[in-house]
Structure 1
Amino acid sequence: MIYDNCNSSSLKEHLEKSLEEISSLAKHNIELLSNEDVCLVQQFENMRNVMTDIVTTAASFYLKCYLSPYTSKYEDLTISICHLSERKHGALIVVERNDSLESLIPSNVPIGGTLSHSLIESIFFPGNPLHDGAILIRAETVVSAANVLPLSNIQVTDRKLGTRHRAAIGLSERSDAIVLVVSEETGQASFAINGALHPIHMITT
């Protein structure tokens, strides 16, 4: 479902430019295809890189669509994910939507604080006793921290996907929650929805 307030112009412009680039590359490669003396492997590699960027940017665009109706603090989420990613501070953030998560996430440490990027970043600062678990966000409130999420039972073949990623996928398999995750190894930010994990670029402007 796409929502009316999904209007990030910077992401839209980036998508448009990337789609125009992939279209131009495709047309150029079609013209070269008849020339057997020209190897197109590198050109196809360039196309793959552009497509990877398109997928990541599109995921970032639709993430705002998915979250904006459920929290007015989307910008704080964006800022916190950017900072955590830059610093390679691992994080696991659950945003409750329509499905109640009480049976899936037994509350561990109550927080009850207003959602802000400084609060999220302080919770996931390395060494903080709460940083290993997930935080639960409901509307504009950080409900609890240090929560344990159900792990996915799917076979994970990507070695870069650790426990946080399996937990993000696992909860998204069992509910309509959006689960944001930041890798402490790479700093890559992703979100899980409907049992699938999508890498994202967070743009704050």
Structure 2
Amino acid sequence: MKKEIMDPIKKLIYDQLGNIIDESMQLMNSLQEKDHCLLCELEDLHKIFQQLQSQASSFYLQSYLSEYTPHYAILSKVIQHLSAQKHGGLIVIERNDQLVSFLKNGVPIDAYLSASLLESIFYPGNSLHDGAVLVSGTKIISAANVLPLSTKTADAKIGTRHRAAIGITESTDAIALVVSEETGKMSFAINGGLYPFSSE
């Protein structure tokens, strides 16, 4: 089975899952030891799971986007730059479903997608930086869009950008990329779910 996995990212995920299985077996065996505390090992295992989720999310995000925009690399670069500077951002990529009826108060841009333009839109103080940017194919269609907020998540830690990202993906097949202004963490939403991803 291992020989069939050709993609480097899938190979990495495969190896990480193997590490998790090995670590889990060691933890199970150590339960027999009377004075052994598992807390540190469980914390290490939790970190491995988080890293695996982030790597897998990056792989699948690229897979989800590649058919609908040739500019995954640009979008990834922008998200990483926003994350490094803790500049909040929300980018919605249109796939099969038309999104116009779900957006409000957007400002038309109608320009070819570029890293410099996207980063300038989300620069703090820019009048367009608070809303969502709509990307379709090779173009930035509009900015400062207001999206429908998710009503299904009750997590108080999830801010407005993240609730908007989840909300648009609950109603459409769009993908939303989000950068937290508070933490700089990157995530994407699809089918009403929110997933962290790495810059690797």
Verify same fold: TM over 0.5.
yes
Cα deviation, residue 37, structure 1: 2.4
Cα deviation, residue 35, structure 1: 1.7
Distance change >3 Å, CA 158–CA 57, structure 1 → 2? farther
CA distance, structure 2, for counterparts of residue 177 and residue 202 of structure 1? 21
Cα deviation, residue 141, structure 1: 0.3
Q: Could you list the per-position Cα deviations for residues 68-104 of structure 1 after superposition, in whole angstroms to 9, with x for gaps in the alignment?
A: 1000011000100010000000001000001111111
- 1:21 equivalenced with 2:23 (yes/no): no
Equivalent residue in structure 2 for 1:180, among 163, 177, 182: 177
Cα deviation, residue 107, structure 1: 6.0
Cα deviation, residue 11, structure 1: 3.7
Q: Could you list the per-position Cα deviations for residues 96-125 of structure 1 after superposition, in whole angstroms to 9, with x for gaps in the alignment?
A: 001111111146211111111111111101
Give 2:164's aligned residue. Answer: 167
Whichever residue aligns with residue 77 of structure 1, its letter is: L
Give 2:82's aligned residue. Answer: 84
CA distance, structure 2, for counterparts of residue 128 and residue 8 of structure 1? 44
RMSD, matched Cα: 1.9
Cα deviation, residue 46, structure 1: 1.4
Give 2:49's aligned residue. Answer: 51
Runs of 4+ residues deviating >4 angstroms: 7-10
CA distance, structure 2, for counterparts of residue 128 and residue 13 of structure 1? 42
- 1:67 equivalenced with 2:61 (yes/no): no
Q: Where does the alignment leave 5 or more consecutive residues of structure 1 unmatched? A: 1-6
Distance change >3 Å, CA 100–CA 13, structure 1 → 2? same
Query: Which deviates more, 11-20 or 74-83?
Result: 11-20
CA distance, structure 2, for counterparts of residue 18 and residue 202 of structure 1? 18
Cα deviation, residue 186, structure 1: 0.3
**Count of aligned residue pairs for this structure pair:** 196
Cα deviation, residue 13, structure 1: 4.9
Q: Could you list the per-position Cα deviations for residues 125-158 of structure 1 after superposition, in whole angstroms to 9, with x for gaps in the alignment?
A: 1111110110000001000011110111124324
Give 2:141's aligned residue. Answer: 143
Kindly indicate whether the alpha-carbon contact (under 8 Å) linking 1:8 and 1:61 is maintained by their aligned counterparts in 2.
Answer: no
Cα deviation, residue 14, structure 1: 4.0
Cα deviation, residue 43, structure 1: 1.2
Cα deviation, residue 170, structure 1: 0.6
Give 1:33's aligned residue. Answer: 31
Percent of paired sites with the same residue: 48
Whichever residue aligns with residue 59 of structure 2, its letter is: F
Q: Where does the alignment leave 5 or more consecutive residues of structure 2 unmatched? A: none
Kindly indicate whether the alpha-carbon contact (under 8 Å) linking 1:107 and 1:144 is maintained by their aligned counterparts in 2.
Answer: no
